């Protein structure tokens, strides 16, 4: 196939056409946290009472989770940024494979289902193909609480023995601080009999958000946000009204968009403690940050290369590794980016190279030599954050870039091009 034909084939799919070189300015609003909203929606399964969750972003992943919950008998109604859920008639513990396979977070239903019904049947999850992301820790934790769990033909079947089908509190020690496993065991344990202790728990803000909502529902959770979480099981949970925290990954992406275009921009709402590692790296590479009670104003200077290693929270988040690499591709000097969380999260390197970035990839480490100017090219994001990185690179590139992978981008960013355009970018969506 000729180069011309290859290019034509690439741009025949839905894509964003991004004219690079425009400065950004003004204020941008951060949506609710996707990763928090998804797990909070599954937590509604723990009670028969109505649960109202606000600040829910409009994303395809949220739509997917809504479909999964409806198949299990949950009454769900969405109005603007608020979702009302009621699992009074929870009648299915086995959501369909075709829905669960495309949405990893749907696997988190297993904890609430086991806690409330004493049984669950969940297909192994899908989502972005960025690594193995096994559910071994989830299963070990549920077994520690007394569940019988087996995995056959890609389906996890779990049940609680005994007449009352109630899980038993236990000590759970994770080999690694898995966010998903921490959330799964936390939700399962709140209705268990007795006390559960989770050691080496994930400390992400989304864990803290989940624990706050569970406590509002009547749970007794202490220590979320630290390495040890204690849960005293209760017999019943109740409804609540809860507001999702701002999305720290979207906030970080927008701050990087300002940096890569060398533009002054204000982002709000932001909880700065949720982005400490990212904010420090932005300062290190030459950005001035003004933080107030509601948001952050970024004023980029000359961008210098910095080294980054992804780590569990409070370290540098893996979800911002790709966007930050796009920035470093335009920095002065050499940067070393090391991915420690997901083994396949360097899919964006080849696409950045198509745009003129100078990157040498050695396993899960990328050596980035900054170049004066990126060049527009047809590129594709192979996962959610890689797609965001391509958008950012397009903002800084000379010419018009065509970015595919919108099916990934729309999973985690609400109206990203509309927000950026409101600040001065030139992006057009072509659905085709």
Q: Which of 13, 371, 18, 45 is nearest to 187 (CA)?
A: 45
Give pLDDT, residue 155.
83
Give pLDDT, residue 128.
39
Give pLDDT, residue 101.
67
pTM to 2 decimal places: 0.92
Instruction: Give SS3 for 11.
Output: coil
b/e burial code for range 3-35 (CB count within 10 A of at least 16 → b):
eeeeeeeebebbbbbbbbebebeeebebbbbbb
Q: Which of 367, 376, 259 is nearest to 323 (CA)?
A: 259
Q: Which of 109, 128, 240, 285 is catalytic?
A: 128
**Tokens 């669960």, residue?**
100
Give pLDDT, residue 1.
43
- Annotation marks residue 240 as catalytic: no
- Domain range list for the chain: 3-31+246-430, 34-243
Give pLDDT, residue 301.
96
Give pLDDT, residue 102.
64
Give pLDDT, residue 132.
42
- Cis before residue 426, ω within 30 degrees of 0? no
CATH code of 3-31+246-430, in short, is 3.65.10.10
CATH code of 34-243, in short, is 3.65.10.10
Give pLDDT, residue 266.
98
Q: What angle do CA 112, 118, 122 make, to 5 degrees?
A: 60
Give pLDDT, residue 98.
72
Give pLDDT, residue 8.
45
Give pLDDT, residue 136.
84
End-to-end, the C-alpha distance of the chain in Å comes to 23
Q: Which residues contact 428 (CB under 8 A, 6 or more apart)?
A: 16, 17, 417
Q: In CATH terms, are 3-31+246-430 and 34-243 the same topology? A: yes
Q: Which of 220, 224, 223, 222 is nearest to 232 (CA)?
A: 220
Give pLDDT, residue 162.
86
Q: Which residues of the chain have pLDDT under 70?
A: 1-12, 92-94, 101-102, 104, 125-134
């Amino acid at each position: 196939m000729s180069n011309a034909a290859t290019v034509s084939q690439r741009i025949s799919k839905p894509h964003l056409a991004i004219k690079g070189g425009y400065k950004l300015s003004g204020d941008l609003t951060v949506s609710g946290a996707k990763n928090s909203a998804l797990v909070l929606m599954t937590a509604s399964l723990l009670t028969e009472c109505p649960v109202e969750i606000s600040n829910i972003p409009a994303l395809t992943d949220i739509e997917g989770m809504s479909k999964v919950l409806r198949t299990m008998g949950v009454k769900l109604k969405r109005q603007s940024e608020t979702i009302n859920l009621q699992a009074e008639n929870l009648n299915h513990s086995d959501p369909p494979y075709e829905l669960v396979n495309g949405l990893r977070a749907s696997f988190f239903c297993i904890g609430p289902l086991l806690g409330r019904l004493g049984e669950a049947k969940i297909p192994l999850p899908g989502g972005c193909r960025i690594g193995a992301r096994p559910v071994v820790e989830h299963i070990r934790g549920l077994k520690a609480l007394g569940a019988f769990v087996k995995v056959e033909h890609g389906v996890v079947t779990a049940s609680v023995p005994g007449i009352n089908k109630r899980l038993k509190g236990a000590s759970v020690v994770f080999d690694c601080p898995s966010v998903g496993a921490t959330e799964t065991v936390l939700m399962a344990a709140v209705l268990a009999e007795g006390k559960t202790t989770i050691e080496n728990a994930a400390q992400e803000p989304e864990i803290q958000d989940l624990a706050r909502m569970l406590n509002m529902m009547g749970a007794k959770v202490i220590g979320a946000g630290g390495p040890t979480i204690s849960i005293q099981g209760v017999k019943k949970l109740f409804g609540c009204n809860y507001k999702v925290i701002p999305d720290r990954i979207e906030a970080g992406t927008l701050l990087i968009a300002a940096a890569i275009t060398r533009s002054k921009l204000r982002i709000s709402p932001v909880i700065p403690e949720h982005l400490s590692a990212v904010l420090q790296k932005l300062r290190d590479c030459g950005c001035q940050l003004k933080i107030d009670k509601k948001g952050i104003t970024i004023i980029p200077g000359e961008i210098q290369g910095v080294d980054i290693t992804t780590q569990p929270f409070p370290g540098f988040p893996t979800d911002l590794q790709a966007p930050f690499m796009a920035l470093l591709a335009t920095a002065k000097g050499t940067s070393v980016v090391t991915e420690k969380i997901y083994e396949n999260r360097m899919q964006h390197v080849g696409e950045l190279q198509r745009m003129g970035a100078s990157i040498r990839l050695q396993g899960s480490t990328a050596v980035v030599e900054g170049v004066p100017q990126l060049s527009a090219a047809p590129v594709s994001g192979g996962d959610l954050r890689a797609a965001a990185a391509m958008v950012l690179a397009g903002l800084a590139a000379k010419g018009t870039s065509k970015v595919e992978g919108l099916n990934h981008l729309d999973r985690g960013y609400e109206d990203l091009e509309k927000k950026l355009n409101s600040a001065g970018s030139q992006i057009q969506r072509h659905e085709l």
